[in-house]
Amino acid sequence: MSRGNQRSCILEFDGASIGNPGPAGAGAILYAEDGRPLYRFREGLGYQTNNVAEYRALILGLKQAINKGFKNISVQGDSNLVINQFLGSWKINNQYLWNLCNEALQLKESFHSFSIQHIPREFNTGADAQANRAINLREGQVEEDAYC
């Protein structure tokens, strides 16, 4: 799980809302480089749009990876909007989404190596499950499960 002695992980993230906007949650899972799950996270977001929930899930995962001491990260999510805006390929017209994207970009700077890619929804079911569980949490409440 290291490049040299720098810890590496894979982050999968997803956001969910019932209605758009509606009650929302963010989910993230950190995996070892070999694919073993290490940690699951979920955060209640209150009443938000799905796009806000997706960004908040990315931010949740990045913050948790930093807190756990990871220095190299490969990020995967099923939101074309978040990934393409994060990469600068798509314009951000909403100020709040711009602020969330900027926060994620600042968190990116904490890593020695960073990559992000889109994955199909059917390969993001773990993070999706965490996001859906998070809908039932109060706003700002974060839960964590450790596998190790």
Radius of gyration of the chain (CA): 14
Domain with residue 41: its CATH number is 3.30.420.10
Per-residue confidence (pLDDT) for residue 147, from 0 to 100: 84
Per-residue confidence (pLDDT) for residue 1, from 0 to 100: 41
Low-confidence ranges of the chain (pLDDT < 50): 1-5
- The DSSP code for 79 is -
Per-residue confidence (pLDDT) for residue 3, from 0 to 100: 41
Q: Tokens for 77, please give them.
A: 């999510």
Range of the domain at 114: 2-146
Q: At what angle do helices 95-108 and 50-67 cross, to 10 degrees?
A: 20
Task: Specify the 3-state DSSP secondary structure of 115.
Answer: strand
Per-residue confidence (pLDDT) for residue 6, from 0 to 100: 65
Count of the separate structural domains present in the chain: 1
Per-residue confidence (pLDDT) for residue 57, from 0 to 100: 98
How distant, in Å, are the alpha carbons of 58, 101, 105, 131 from that of 81?
12, 11, 15, 17
Per-residue confidence (pLDDT) for residue 4, from 0 to 100: 43
Contacts of 13 (CB under 8 A, 6+ apart): 26, 27, 28, 54, 57, 58, 60, 61, 75, 76, 77, 127
